[in-house]
Structure 1
């Protein structure tokens, strides 16, 4: 009886925290107004833009802020439903409410994204909304990357709004969360924050946006959750607390890196409007960290003990502070960074697209470091987690085969080599280097990854979740493997067309020129190359171990290999080696004064692709034969390593 009373009181308290969103939004609007007022003089001095109408100049950032708040609300509620709450397959009652709330906020997000297009046009024309006509809007969308980004967001948010009305499963909710995170990226990547900053700019901004959306969204979700028991609330807060630390590190690190790419002199941190806003954001970030530490030390134990009032009060303060910080961020995105000194602007040959052409290749240049952010972080995380799993297996007295560890390390060493060494600096100026990067990421590295069996290691090293009905990483892996779509994706005749579309359509469409021009596009497609290649080789090799129930039949494997070899050979020999110059407009703008002509380099790229294909065909056949030779009777080491964790369901055939 007492427990029921406490639960009811907790639910009432959590329902009453919805009004806190109003002062949070008000704080965000106020800080946006203040920062725009502080930076308006610098903004109006940007050369090449028509004089802006005062109403449009204020309308655009306000719509942008409301877009950001809707994105945070949508992603946060989906995060709460998919990750923070207990559940197996179907959503709990509180999760169901979170998803419905996310649907309504996604609808608002979609409408605001559509509203941003005429607002941007009015600002561009400098005549206010009176100059906006349907014909002008259509033409603006066709010509403006910013308008196109808002249109993409509007479509994705509309899909979220409709899907949230019918989704009842945790897996489906997780898929909606991924779509929401994807929808949050386009406006940031086409703004001045994502369009500058060299190598670090686009990826640092993308990571910063994702971190903020998840961190702030999780806080908002905890604030507005309704009809949730104290036990479930405590579990949700505990889970989010474990996520908040890495998210704060991601937000802080990417934010500092982004600022450093725009402040060429430390004195600019206090001597310019942009620098002052960066410092204000830094102070607010430190305040959020302090509040989070206070939560962990004082209010979370009280919440677990059945006294949620203190937690909710401090959470309300944290949400208001986050809203104010987002207001500063919107003002910062509208403030031009200080102009670097003339000495900092020179020093290299530049293409028309502001790409620095490196010096001619040399052994020293190829071994140099090409600064990046995404793939070094991914490599460190992948190798670190794998080695942690190997160590846990050794501690249990079940050593993991060293060849698998070596294969995993070698695969990520290849990834690091082609994305973050001096070799990567030539990817945008030499077709031969870009093709080498491409097929290393889609062929060589994925084959080694599959042979390393990271899925099997994860299933045996991860412990089952200790919380009742709470999915941990192992439970999510089991659920993912059990979904019919995953079984279909691992069929060779499904994985093959996915691989061909992702990898080879690049050379028969306009995507190749985009990859050469855009650092962000390179990151996205390099990631897709890795994923599609891993899926393809996992489908060809099938599961390891004695279980042959899900292994692909030899005729199917041979047909898939033949289809891949035919398409790869056609692209290498017909399109690259013998075809017309791809991305001709890009090469005509590129001021590369050394090396072969673009058409000659493309022919070299075709020869590299053909040679790579032949070598990988033989390597794949050998890997398939080796994998199948071990299937009838697994050796002791493999059998030992494949043994399930005590108390966990046995999983067969996991990569």
Structure 2
């Protein structure tokens, strides 16, 4: 097909040109691995990126835009399977050539070479990363052929995205000073570029199957995804470039020039995407024949630009960055060695409000969460429906607080101080959910998002499916939510999970998600507005709240009065001039005292809801009595009178 051919050709030509200009394939001065490895690694990585794009883009399109009732759905899964197979082979080739590149061992197929390669793939972090990617891609290849259930494909898509995690944890991201920020930026960049490029490529391949009004419908859905992808790619790309370039003057270096080329290509893609959205999609539904030829020409040009960006990206991975990727011989403190980050200023109280270390993942999540919520409210108002203002205020406030916790002073100091870590924990699991739950996002989504009628699933369908699933009915049960909320405290802090969240950035992000979800489920079971399978009566809600928070307070007291240091080889080895045990006891005091403040707010809210429920029930009974003329009361009095007459007889 013309589209895939143009994409591949443009990518290869751009890669060759960028490697030649940036010097990414020049011979090594010592122990040169040879041209096969020097040129083969970026070429193999290019096909890794293209394979990942086709795999993730096709899966996202199948899950989000296509109908399982039509042949288009199966063909998209075939594209995903073929792309996953390309990713499998390309990942294996990249791992092999990377071994040759970093070790200088000549490429051959002897027993000694095989043993060394096996050791590299199983014991060295870089080798394990490519082995993991290869195995996950192979699993996705099989699953794309075997799984055709719409719901199950969500988990296949998650697995496909997981194949990119090892890639995000290596390359330039692994050595920069802003290690966590670099991993997050690169991971977001890879995932959203894949969905953007792969989605368009899949539409081109499915062109003959999208007849009549199907093409503008699918394009409109893809266009929404592409717009989100464009925003995320632009922001994550800027973050990655800023970490690796450093100053504006470094844009004159070969690495900087290649980054400028990528930026120019991205701007061109944004312009073509806007043109596609505004000038073609709407006209296609009215007069497809008149715009078909210019539209597909635009798509081919867009794929060529995407190919150029992919080729330059593959070359950038082999080009020296202006900012050194290792700290060199500069003396570092124990805290800097442990965290891999430069030391922040001394934690005076006001620093928690003035220091920032943005976590791009949560900044974007909060930004999109606010935008889509407000857009839903605006849509309701335009059609004449009302939505309480307080819900919008609480939702926006909750997401702003979440952004502050994950990117502000608490995020800066939680790696160094247990008290800061516990403060962030309390905010995530108690304060943020108390603001988010009254926002009723599920109710808003059910009312504001247009339902699909062609068998595909959009935001409304997926949200309602998740809310009404068996799994959701289990974890949303008030007792289960309370056990998860309180029990996870002990499991987390007194198990290897705590260490994992300190040592691994993925573990840190998991911690944020876990605390946020468990807190949300608990608060939802007490004061939630969104539909749940079962709610406790109000008296039992208060009992559950008080019992759970007593357990929570006991945990805080245990930490506050403990004499053993949690994670002693981390907080106790910082050498930052603080008493780690005293700081841990302060953290216990935070869990015991400050963590109870939201409890009072929850108890008051439950009491107010109880009072309003009783008032509503009284009004309902009064209206019923007015409609029936107190028939129930008269019937009851007549029954009493009949019993009295019977007793007299």
TM-score (norm 2): 0.81
Q: Distance in 1 between matches of 2:272 and 2:384?
A: 42
Post-superposition CA distance 1:91-138 (Å, at most 9, x none): 422012212321332244244434443433332222134487555455
Q: Quick one: distance in 2 between partners of 1:201 and 1:91?
A: 42
Are positions 1:279 and 2:260 aligned together?
Answer: yes
Structure 1 residue 425: Cα displacement:
1.6
Shift, 1:64, TM fit: 1.8
Comparing 232-241 and 609-618, the one that deviates more: 609-618
Q: Does residue 30 of structure 2 align to residue 62 of structure 1?
A: no
Do the aligned partners of residues 439 and 121 (structure 1) sit closer, same or farther apart at CA in structure 2, a change above 3 Å counting?
farther
1:222-301 equivalence runs, <5 A: 222-225=203-206, 226-270=208-252, 272-296=253-277, 299-300=280-281
Deviation at 1:76, TM superposition (A): 1.2
Contact preservation (8 Å) 2:89, 2:134: yes
Q: Match for residue 592 of structure 2?
A: 610
How do 1:630-649 residues align onto structure 2 when only pairs under 5 Å count?
A: 630-631=612-613
Q: For residues 347 and 260 of structure 1, do their structure 2 counterparts lie closer, same or farther at Cα, with a shift above 3 Å needed?
A: farther
Contact 1:35 1:328 in 2 (8 A): yes
Q: Judging changes above 3 Å, is the alpha-carbon distance between structure 1 residues 28 and 504 closer, same or farther for their aligned structure 2 residues?
A: farther
Q: 2:426 aligns with which of 418, 423, 439?
A: 439
Q: CA RMSD in A?
A: 3.9
Equivalent positions of 1:86-485 (< 5 A) are: 87=67, 90-130=68-108, 133=113, 135-137=115-117, 139-141=119-121, 143-193=123-173, 195-196=175-176, 198=178, 200-225=181-206, 226-270=208-252, 272-296=253-277, 299-300=280-281, 303-304=284-285, 305-307=287-289, 308-339=292-323, 351-352=336-337, 353-372=339-358, 373-393=360-380, 399-460=386-447, 462-465=448-451, 471-485=457-471
Partner Cα separation in structure 2 for residue 475 and residue 452 of structure 1: 20
Q: Take 1:412 and 1:71, find their aligned partners in 2: how far apart are those partners?
A: 32
Return the alpha-carbon distance in structure 2 between the equivalents of residues 142 and 153 of structure 1. Answer: 13
Structure with max Cα Rg: 2
Bigger Cα displacement from structure 2, 440-449 vs 570-579: 570-579
C-alpha contact 1:444 1:616 (8 A) present in aligned 2: yes
Is 1:20 aligned to 2:3, yes or no? Answer: yes
Q: Can you give the 5+ residue segments of structure 1 that lack an aligned partner in the other structure? A: 1-16, 637-655
Q: Distance in 2 between matches of 1:562 and 1:300?
A: 56
How many residues in Structure 1 have an aligned counterpart in Structure 2? Answer: 608
Who is 2:58 aligned against?
77
- Provide the C-alpha distance between the structure 2 equivalents of 1:247 and 1:316, rounded to a whole number of angstroms: 19
Deviation string, structure 1 residues 237-294 (Cα, Å, up to 9, x no partner): 1222233233222222321232122222322212x22112112212222332343344
Q: Which moved more, 1:332-341 or 1:434-443?
A: 332-341
1:599 is the counterpart of 2:584: no
Distance in 2 separating the partners of 1:335 and 1:196:
14
Deviates more, 1:367-376 or 1:562-571: 562-571
Listed one character per residue, the Cα deviations across residues 375-412 of structure 1 (whole Å, up to 9, x for unaligned) are 33333333344344445555566543444344324423
Distance 1:433 1:113, change over 3 A: same
For 2:394 and 2:258, how far apart are their aligned partners in 1? 47
Cα distance, 1:502 vs structure 2: 6.5
- Report what 2:645 is aligned to: none
Contact conserved, 1:196 with 1:202, CA < 8 A, in 2?
Answer: no
| Cα distance in 2, alignment partners of residues 296 and 618 from structure 1 | 49
Aligned partner (choices 24, 32, 45) of residue 15 of structure 2: 32
Question: Conserved in 2, the CA contact under 8 Å of 1:32 and 1:331?
Answer: yes
1:551 corresponding residue in structure 2: 535
Tell me the distance in 1 between the aligned counterparts of 2:540 and 2:84: 43
Query: Is 1:486 the counterpart of 2:475 in the alignment?
Result: no
**1:74, distance to aligned residue in structure 2 (A):** 0.7
Distance across 2 between alignment mates of 1:336 and 1:504: 46
Distance 2:78 2:325 in 1: 52
CA contact (8 A) 1:53 1:127 kept: no
C-alpha distance in structure 2 between counterparts of 1:124 and 1:399, whole Å: 63
Offset of residue 315 of structure 1: 1.8
Find the aligned partners of 1:348 and 1:510 in 2 and give their Cα distance.
27
Unaligned runs of at least 5 residues, structure 2: 619-649
Q: What is the CA–CA distance in structure 2 between the aligned matches of 1:410 and 1:224, rounded to whole Å?
A: 44
* Offset, 1:141: 4.5
Contact (CA 8 Å) 1:507, 1:571: kept in 2 or not?
no
Scaled by the length of structure 1, what TM-score is found? 0.80
Cα 1:417–1:330 shift into 2, 3 Å = same
CA drift of 1:589 comes to 5.7
Deviation at 1:498, TM superposition (A): 5.4
Q: Take 1:397 and 1:345, find their aligned partners in 2: how far apart are those partners?
A: 66
Q: Say which SS state the counterpart of residue 54 (structure 2) adopts.
A: helix
CA gap 1:58/1:548 in 2 versus in 1, 3 angstroms: closer
Q: 1-side partners of 2:543 and 2:137: how far apart? A: 40
Contact 1:383 1:409 in 2 (8 A): yes
Q: Give the whole-Å Cα distance in 1 for the aligned partners of 2:124 and 2:364.
A: 32
In structure 2, what is the equivalent of residue 541 of structure 1? 526
Shift in CA distance, 251/416, structure 1 to aligned 2, threshold 3 Å: closer
Aligned-pair CA distance for 1:474: 2.8
Deviations 1:561-599 (A, max 9, x none): 69966875676455785364343443466352x3x3223
Residues 617 and 471 of structure 1: CA distance in aligned 2, closer, same or farther (over 3 Å): same
SS in 2 for 1:68: helix
Task: Give the corresponding residue for 2:642.
Answer: none
